[in-house]
Amino acid sequence: MAPRSPSAAVLVLHGGYENGTEPPPPGLLNLPGTRMRPFVRALRRATRTPASGPGSGADVLVRQVRYAHRGWNGSRADALHDALAALDALGEETGGSEEGGGVPVVLLGHSMGARAALLAAGHPLVRG
């Protein structure tokens, strides 16, 4: 059986720092990203339907942003650029484009990620 196409997506945006141009550490050493892992797991469990079963795809696609820099960095707004790039990638993955289409996306952000989510909310895929 082929994987089911998702009906929606959630993009999880973790926190960060006011300033920090260095890249975040990898894996579990990236504490703001690690802090959001329980949310990602809970979302994946809560949005998988019994009919989909293991390996057949989720009704809701859950993705987590990986920032290029640890901080917001003033007018550079690095986390916003990463959020918009992640939304564009989600659009490509689900058949959408900058003009729309694809699946509706909900943004879930904490701290710096919430700031990025608020500013990225105008993206055509974002519905909540």
Helix 78-93 vs helix 112-120: crossing angle, to nearest 10: 60
Q: Does the pLDDT at position 99 exceed 70? A: no
Contact residues for 11 (Cβ-Cβ < 8 A; gap 6+): 63, 64, 65, 83, 86, 87, 90, 105, 106, 107, 108, 117
Flag whether 14 is in a domain.
yes
Check: CB of residue 76 under 8 Å from CB of residue 53.
no
pLDDT of residue 47: 87
Flag whether 60 is in a domain.
yes
pLDDT of residue 59: 85
Flag whether 45 is in a domain.
yes
Task: State the total domains in the chain.
Answer: 1
Check: CB of residue 115 under 8 Å from CB of residue 19.
no
**What is the phi/psi pair of residue 120, to 5°?**
-90, 0
Flag whether 67 is in a domain.
yes
pLDDT of residue 62: 94
Flag whether 100 is in a domain.
yes
Its domain, for residue 76, covers 8-120
Mean pLDDT of the region 88-101: 77
Flag whether 79 is in a domain.
yes
Q: Does the pLDDT at position 2 exceed 60? A: no
Flag whether 38 is in a domain.
yes
Flag whether 128 is in a domain.
no
pLDDT of residue 3: 62
**Predicted confidence band of residue 128 (pLDDT cuts 50, 70, 90):** confident
